[in-house]
Structure 1
C-alpha cells in the first residue's frame, strides 16, 4: 500500500471525523436550547446525535463484515442517526439566520431524539448475545464440515483400497504369465542349443567322450597323438565344436576360444 494511502487511513480520516464532530457541536447545542433544554444540558446533544451516528455506522459495518444478525436494523439506525444529525445542523442554522422560527412540532421532534437514541442503543446492545449465537452456528457448521470431510476420506479410502486390491490381482496374474513365458523361453533356448549341437557321422550328437574316443583310436592307428584338425576331420565336426566339448581342464586355451 502506498505511503500516502496509509497516511489518509491513519491521519486524514480521524482528523476529518474529529473536525466534523467539532463543527456539529454549536448547531446541535443551539437546537437543544431552542427545544427547551437549559445551557447545562444542551451540550449533551452533540454526543446524542453526532457520536451516536458514528457508533451506529461502525456497528452496522462490523455486523455486515462478520455476517451477524441485525445488519438491516443497524444500517437503518445508522442512516436515521445521520439524517438526525444533518437535520439538527440545518434547522439550527435556519433558526439562527431567521429563515424559520421555533414551533411546537419542532420542539416535540427534538425532544424525541434522546428516547429514540436510547431505544436503538438498547437494540444494538443485543449484539454480544447474537454474536455468541453466530459463533455457535459457525462451530456447528465447522463440525458438520468435519464430519462430511471424514466421511469423504473414508469413502475415498475404501475406493483406493479396492483399486489397490485389483492392481495386486492384476500384478499377480502378470507375474504368473511372466513365469510361464520365462519357462517357455528357457525350453526354447534348450531346444535351440540342442539343434545347434553338431551330429557325428552315425547321426548321434557329438560329446566330449566321442572326442576322447576318437583321439585314442587315431593314436592307436598312427602311433602318434593326432592333431585337432585330424580329430575334427575324423568326426566331421568343426574346431569350434571340438573346443566347446573338450574338457576344460585339459584344453583351457580351446575353451577360451570357444567362449569368445
Structure 2
C-alpha cells in the first residue's frame, strides 16, 4: 500500500489552508480596527490591533506545537496563549459588530479591557521566549540530526530528479533541432551539387591565348593572310596584348609576320 500523500491533499496543505487563513485574517481586520477605535485609539494606531492579535495567535500556536513535538516545557502556557488570542479575536469581532448594529454601547470596562490587550500580549510573548529549554540526551540530538539529514537527502534527491528530467527534455529538444539542421544542411548540399553540375555543363569561356590560336586557324582555313595585324583586327586587341598572350612558337622561323 502506497504511503505517498495524494496530490489533492498537497494542494489543500499548500494552497487551501494559507488562503483560508489569509481570508480569515482579512475578515477580522474591520472588527478589530473598529474595536480599537472604540477604545480610544486614533486612526493612525487602530490598524495595529489586528496585527497584534494575529501575530500573537500565530506565535503562541507555533511555539506550542514546537514544544509539544520536541517535548520541551512551556507547552501549556503557549497553548493557553493561543486560546486566549482566539478568544480575544472572537470577542473583538462580536463586540465590534454588536456596537456597530446598536445592540450595545461602549463602557469604561470595555475601554479598559481593550486597552490591556497589547501589554498582556507583550508579557505573554516575553514569558514564552524566556521559558528554559529542556536538556536533551545525546541520543535525542542524534535522532533529530538523523531526521534532518534524511529530510535533506530526500529534498536533494527530489531536486536532482527534477533537474535530470529537465536536462533530458532539453537534450531531446537539442537533438530535434540538430536533426532539423542536418536535414536543412543536406538539402542545401544537394542544391549546391545541382548548381555545380549545371555549371559543369556550361562551356568554359576561352582564354585570350586560345582565342588567338583559334583565330589563326580560322584565317588559315579561309586562306586569309595570317598576320599579327589581321589577328589583332579580328579580335579587337592591340599588338602589345597579342604578344603578351600569344601561343608559344616552335621556333623563330615559325613566328607570324606583323603585316602582309
Normalised by the length of structure 2, the TM-score is 0.51
Q: Which has the higher contact order (CA 8 A, sep 6+)?
A: 2
**CA apart distance, 1:50:** 2.0
Aligned length: 138
1:58 aligned partner? 62
> In the superposition, relative to structure 1, how do residues 110 and 8 fare at CA in structure 2: closer, same or farther (>3 Å)?
same
1:105 aligned partner? 109
Distance 1:142 1:9 in 2: 29
Normalised by the length of structure 1, the TM-score is 0.51
1:137 aligned partner? 136
Structure 1 unaligned blocks of 5 or more: 144-260
**CA apart distance, 1:118:** 0.3
Bigger Rg, which one: 1
Distance 2:24 2:139 in 1: 44
1:48 aligned partner? 52
Give the secondary structure class of the aligned counterpart of 1:53. helix
Q: Aligned pair 1:74/2:73, yes or no?
A: no
> Which string of whole-angstrom CA distances, capped at 9 and with x for unpartnered residues, describes residues 88-129 of structure 1?
0110011011110000000000000001000011011125xx
2:16 aligned partner? 12
The one of 80, 91, 94 aligned to 1:90? 94
> Which string of whole-angstrom CA distances, capped at 9 and with x for unpartnered residues, describes residues 196-242 of structure 1?
xxxxxxxxxxxxxxxxxxxxxxxxxxxxxxxxxxxxxxxxxxxxxxx
**CA apart distance, 1:51:** 2.3
> In the superposition, relative to structure 1, how do residues 23 and 140 fare at CA in structure 2: closer, same or farther (>3 Å)?
same
Distance 2:25 2:58 in 1: 9
Task: Select the structure that is richer in helix.
Answer: 1
Distance 2:48 2:14 in 1: 28
Q: CA RMSD in A?
A: 1.8
